[in-house]
Amino acid sequence: MQFVCRVGTPDGRVLEELLTGADERAVRSELDKRGYHIFEVRRKGVPKSAAFSGATRGLGRRRRIKSEEFLVFNQELAALLRAGLPLLQTLDLMLERLPNPGFKAVMVEIRDQVKSGADLSEAFAAHGEMFPRLYPSSLKAGERSGELELVIRRFIRYMKLMLEARKKGISALIYPANKKK
């Protein structure tokens, strides 16, 4: 089988090569032996969007990240950025702390995309079904203004307001049912 491989060389170049191998694992092993950093390996003829979900293939259908979990993630992300850590180092630290295997697999893909030169907003937009629609747009605004941490903090405030409104709405729906008893 033939595989399209996007790799980073030790001298910092990004290459796209066509390799032949028995399976993806064999091709990845060959690329590792050459000392390449692997960004993507997909079978020739398979569109990027289909190959892109490789890290979560075994996890079944991707699900939206729980709002509370995403809120905590963003609070930690903002704190690390505020402390002055570079974005890639921040993402690596965040990966170590993520307990949810589905979220962690997606964050590995996002980190790899950022490592290969993509904007954080683009990397999150590629997984749009998992995150709030407003999030990639907010990140893009922060990237363009140079105030990523500030924009993430604003998004956190927005999320807290939305979660509080949701709780009040649910309470309002449940209250009449409890009163009838």
Mean pLDDT per 10-residue interval, the chain, length 181 residues: 83 84 87 85 66 41 80 94 94 91 91 92 88 92 94 94 87 71 56
pLDDT value, residue 171? 79
Q: CA geometry: angle at 153 spanning 107 and 76, to 5°?
A: 45
pLDDT value, residue 53? 42
pLDDT value, residue 48? 58
CA distance 176 to 156: 31
**Residue ranges per domain, the chain?**
2-46, 67-177
CA distance 51 to 61: 14
Specify whether the CB–CB gap between 110 and 119 falls below 8 A: no
**If we measure between CA atoms, which residue out of 155, 134, 145, 131 comes closest to residue 77?**
155
Is domain 67-177 in CATH 1.20.81.30, yes or no?
Answer: yes
pLDDT value, residue 178? 63
Structure tokens at 95: 């990966």
